[in-house]
Amino acid sequence: MIWNGDVKKILYGGDYNPEQWGEDVWEEDMRLFRKAHIDVVTLNVFSWASLQPGEDVYDFTKLDKIMDLVSDNGLKVCLATSTAAHPAWMARKYPDVLRTEHNGMRRKFGSRHNSCPNSPTYRKYSAALAGRLAERYGNRGNIVAWHIANEYGGECYCENCEKAFREWLKERYGTLEELNRAWDTAFWGHTFYEWEEVVVPNLQSEEFYWGDCIRTNFQGISLDYRRFISDSMLECYRLEEEAVKKYTPWIPVTTNFMGFYKGLDYQKWARSMDFVSWDNYPAYGAVPEQAAMAHDLMRGLKQGMPYVLMEQTPSVSNWHTYCALKRPGVMRLWSYQAVAHGADAVMFFQMRRSIGACEKYHGALIDHAGHENTRVFREMAALGGELEKLGDILLEGRSKARAAIVMDWDNWWAAEYSAGPSKLIHYYEELLAYYKAFYRLNIPVDVISVEDDLSGYALVTAPMLYMCKDGFDGKLRKFVEGGGFFLTTYFSGYVEDHDLVVTGGYPGRLKDILGIWVEESDALPEGEGNRFLYGGKEYRAEILCDLLHLQGAEALSVYEEDFYAGMPVLTAHSYGKGKAFYMAARSGDDFYEEFIKDLCEEAGIRPIMEAPQQIEVTMRENGNGKFLFLLNHGEDTQEAVLPCGGEDLLTGGRYGKGEKLRLGKKDVAILKVLTE
């Protein structure tokens, strides 16, 4: 169970900020919550200023009242520590809490997520506040979890960070000789003689704008700075965690992640968290595969453990370029999509719309009209009713996948800091291209880290594994030797952990497993491409085309054009009892779908079922049985032939194996499998 206490359903609720309102609306809020079947509220996310109005003054009167209010109304609480925005007095008195930007500009008080992660003041007072909250409220039985700060992120380049960076480097490298080696400072005469000569990599030193992307002259230092910032914020999280655990070791602790957020190594973070929670705000025009992949990433952070959908908007997100409405049914559909991928709670930002500042036009259960006669309220109340009826039947369900996609933050940073070979190198896009194929084939896939155990998988794909870290090649070798299928792509295996090239031919440490070596790579400008044939059909090869030689592998396809026509573009290598595949260029969704289908067939991985393209299919299972989720993301009614008999938990409808299930646009079915 992810939560503290007696939780027997998918919790439903979200951020609630009654402190932004007069008490006269509180009782009305409670009435509306009951009507919408809200049972959990995230409190106290941005209240530091009122909880600690001065350095030695704490004031919990208002929070006491709010805690009483929600407790008297039977609500569970996800209690935040309020440390994602420091109070104004603190910024004035202790400017070390203020961040310095990438261009060296020292910030003044303002905004949020604004504290320097290496500020002694921030660290001291954030942990102190967290401790006081735990001491004061910890024994209230309705706190289901601690919510530390909020959406950690951003970066800082101040002097405290610079000092702390040097300490971090000493810890990592021990000696300056080793640091100089790891960063290859012999290049451009950058040798460091003293630790104090190391400065933060920003626009004042190694980094620069290249179009709208940030580039660096020294990948080693920039990469280490990313790691350092991620670690620094993790330390802040840990200090607060320790403070609350001191009083309430039984209450689980989390912080809300942001899916594929590049700034923090969530795989490393998740090891310090009791459960993962995240905020899902799909960009305007995003396809359902993107949210699905983010959910799978979040589930993978703790090896398949259920997670919490901490925030999503009931309808609009004020900060999007176009604050389009979620069409009728979409909020429900996306909520169930989270559950279908492993979420055990459905939560929102937020319960009541504020009247001031930048989020006053963000979606909420209760909007400015102030009553329940709105489309959004009705849809939320209806979903709340459904979740209440579902009870605990789906809780703690796990998804079983025999295919995995490897995702690695260091690799993401390193691949995209690389000066060359192409501005079209985008790690996320490469992952998504492969993910989409699994999604469309209804083949469950886990998104895993290089630290995870590979033994349960039949197929491991590692798109654009530019950095193959120490030990990961050994793990892959063992996996393939033992009968596993492994697939990787162009721009893989180039460098080791410090972004230093592994010499002897690309893809470095992966050469022997793949049975190839890459001599050159041709970066094609946008719109240009080569071609190849696969299964009798023609597909595109673009972005980067490797010119490779076979060293034991066989060519499954070759380039059709240019001076490298006839050279392999897709290869397979029998290695031990398994096989390793290499895709030497970027292709299109049509190719990936065909190829992944063939690979899965050969690896003995079967889809959950066949279904029309618009229907997303997943499976979760727990002690209560197996649950098949069908989600119609399309604009029309769709029909799918069921691979099993089952009972729809939402409608009560019963189906036999082989029967057709009709699903209206944006509708969802959750079938308890009865006959396989």
What minimum distance in Å lies between the beta carbon of 281 and ligand GLA?
6
What minimum distance in Å lies between the beta carbon of 111 and ligand GLA?
11
What minimum distance in Å lies between the beta carbon of 155 and Zn ion?
8
- Residues in region 279-338 near ligand GLA by CB under 6 A: 279, 281, 311, 313, 317
* Annotated active-site residue in 155, 207, 240, 311: 311
* Annotated active-site residue in 151, 241, 542, 616: 151
Identify which of residues 311 and 446 has a Cβ nearer to ligand GLA in the complex: 311
What minimum distance in Å lies between the beta carbon of 100 and Zn ion?
6
User: Phi and psi at residue 195, in whole multiples of 5°?
Assistant: -60, -35
What minimum distance in Å lies between the beta carbon of 74 and ligand GLA?
25
Q: According to the binding rule CB under 6 A, does residue 150 interact with ligand GLA?
A: yes
Sign of CA dihedral 266, 269, 272, 273: negative
DSSP for 528-577, written as a single string: --EEEEETTEEEEEBSEEEEEEESS-EEEEEB-SSTTTTSEEEEEEEETT
> Which of Zn ion, ligand GLA, none sits in contact with 156, Cβ below 5 to 8 A by type?
Zn ion
Q: Which stretch binds Zn ion (CB under 5 A): 61-69, 154-162, 438-446, 597-605?
A: 154-162
- Residues in region 106-125 near Zn ion by CB under 5 A: 116, 118
Q: How many residues bind ligand GLA (CB under 6 A)?
A: 10
Helix (H) or strand (E) holding 340: helix 330-341
> Which of Zn ion, ligand GLA, none sits in contact with 311, Cβ below 5 to 8 A by type?
ligand GLA
What minimum distance in Å lies between the beta carbon of 173 and Zn ion?
21
Q: Which of 41, 161, 291, 331 binds Zn ion (CB under 5 A)?
A: 161
> Which of ligand GLA, Zn ion, none sits in contact with 158, Cβ below 5 to 8 A by type?
Zn ion
Cα separation of 439 and 442, whole Å? 5
Q: According to the binding rule CB under 6 A, does residue 341 interact with ligand GLA?
A: no
Cα separation of 250 and 245, whole Å? 8
What minimum distance in Å lies between the beta carbon of 86 and Zn ion?
13
Q: Which stretch binds Zn ion (CB under 5 A): 10-18, 159-167, 323-331, 571-579?
A: 159-167
- Taking CB under 6 A as the rule, which mask of x and - marks residues 237-276 in contact with ligand GLA? ----------------------------------------
Identify which of residues 35 and 113 has a Cβ nearer to ligand GLA in the complex: 113
- Residues in region 358-377 near ligand GLA by CB under 6 A: 359, 362
> Which of Zn ion, ligand GLA, none sits in contact with 150, Cβ below 5 to 8 A by type?
ligand GLA
Q: Which of 91, 156, 584, 615 binds Zn ion (CB under 5 A)?
A: 156
Going edge to edge, which strands form the sheet with 307-311? 253-254, 143-147, 76-80, 40-43, 11-15, 343-348, 307-311, 277-279, 256-257
Q: How many residues bind Zn ion (CB under 5 A)?
A: 6
Identify which of residues 146 and 228 has a Cβ nearer to ligand GLA in the complex: 146
Radius of gyration of the chain (CA): 26
Per-residue 3-state assignment (H helix, E strand, C coil) for 424-493 = CCCHHHHHHHHHHHHHHHCCCEEEECCCCCCCCCCEEEECCCCECCCCHHHHHHHHHHCCCEEEEECCCC
Identify which of residues 281 and 428 has a Cβ nearer to ligand GLA in the complex: 281
**Largest Cα–Cα distance in the chain?**
77
Closest CA to 290 of 633, 643, 23, 49: 633
Contact 459, 559 (CB under 8 A): no
Identify which of residues 281 and 534 has a Cβ nearer to ligand GLA in the complex: 281
Count of residues making up the chain: 676
What minimum distance in Å lies between the beta carbon of 233 and Zn ion?
11
Contact 310, 42 (CB under 8 A): yes
Q: 673 in helix, strand or coil?
A: strand
Q: 553: which residues sit within 8 A by CB, 6+ positions away?
A: 514, 515, 516, 568, 571, 572, 573, 580, 582
Q: According to the binding rule CB under 6 A, does residue 349 interact with ligand GLA?
A: yes
For 41, other C-beta atoms within 10 Å of its C-beta total 28
* Residue with the two structure tokens 């299928």: 485
Which amino acid does the sequence have at 22?
G
**151 catalytic per annotation:** yes
Q: CA 372, 376, 381, 382: dihedral to nearest 10 degrees?
A: 130
Structure token pair of residue 557: 């396809």
The residues that touch ligand GLA, with contacts defined as CB under 6 A, are 150-151, 279, 281, 311, 313, 317, 349, 359, 362
- Residues designated catalytic: 151, 311
Residues making contact with Zn ion (CB under 5 A): 116, 118, 156, 158, 160-161
